[in-house]
């Protein structure tokens, strides 16, 4: 069995990757090493900086992942600042910012980027997204972060009303992870 390190402080993300990679006989080991998350417009830029920074220190194959919620009515905010904004104002703060925004104008997109690094090679990026709308109130008890206010397209419930398995079937991270897995299947 091969080993692939997942550099993240998020146990949930590591577990999700662990489950998906087990079918390929690749063991995911979580490593909680911090790395800088730069201020940029896109997750790709953030992930690229992070993976380049880590590649100079880490001499084994690893992956990282960055995600964010981009709200149309707020010109893409919180986007790459999603973690900090969640920490500061949470779902209630976002709902307040959208207080006067009517139902048809509450579109948002969750985005995720995985970066894969092998020593001495150019890192590879794998992106996924999930479109949806921001609900009028906090609904559901599952998941984490902005899950209770995000209703994915073609669904009537929030991510927080779904089981992790159901959410991951079509979530932003589910899709980027699927691309990463396919890359490993083909090499
Ligand atoms: P990070 O990539 O883990 O730093 O994620 C940035 C922030 O986006 C997190 O702090 C969460 O609040 C939010 N986020 C990322 N992915 C999800 C998700 O699948 N559901 C809900 N919130 C998410």
Domains (range + CATH), the chain:
2-186 (3.90.950.10)
* pLDDT for position 20: 85
Q: How confident is the model at residue 176 (pLDDT cuts 50, 70, 90)?
A: very high
Q: How confident is the model at residue 70 (pLDDT cuts 50, 70, 90)?
A: very high
Whole-number Å distance between alpha carbons of 182 and 185: 5
Mean pLDDT of 104-125: 97
* pLDDT for position 108: 98
Mean pLDDT of 67-78: 98
Beta carbon of 89 within 6 Å of any ligand 1 atom: no
Give, for ligand 1, the residue of 70, 144, 160, 170 to mutate: max count of ligand atoms closer than 8 Å to Cβ.
144
Both structure tokens of 125: 């990026």
For the packed helices 11-22 and 172-185, what is the interaxial angle rounded to 10 degrees?
A: 40
Percentage of the chain modeled with pLDDT above 70: 100
Both structure tokens of 185: 């299947």
């Amino acid at each position: 069995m091969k080993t692939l390190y997942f550099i993240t402080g998020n146990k949930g993300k590591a577990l999700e990757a662990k489950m998906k990679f087990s079918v390929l006989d690749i063991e995911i080991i979580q490593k909680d090493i911090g790395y800088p998350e730069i201020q940029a417009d896109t997750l790709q830029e953030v992930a690229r900086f992070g993976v380049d920074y880590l590649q100079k220190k880490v001499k084994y194959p690893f992956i990282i992942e960055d995600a964010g919620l981009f709200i149309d009515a707020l010109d893409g905010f919180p986007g790459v600042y999603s973690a900090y904004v969640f920490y500061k104002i949470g779902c209630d703060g976002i709902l307040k910012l959208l207080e006067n925004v009517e139902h048809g104008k509450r579109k948002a997109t969750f985005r995720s980027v995985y970066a894969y690094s092998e020593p001495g090679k150019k890192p590879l990026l794998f992106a996924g997204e999930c479109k949806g709308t921001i609900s009028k109130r906090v609904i559901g008890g599952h998941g984490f972060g902005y899950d209770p206010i995000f209703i994915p397209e073609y669904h009537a419930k929030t991510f927080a009303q779904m089981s992790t398995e159901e959410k991951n079937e079509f979530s932003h991270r589910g899709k980027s992870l699927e691309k990463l897995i396919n890359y490993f299947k083909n090499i």
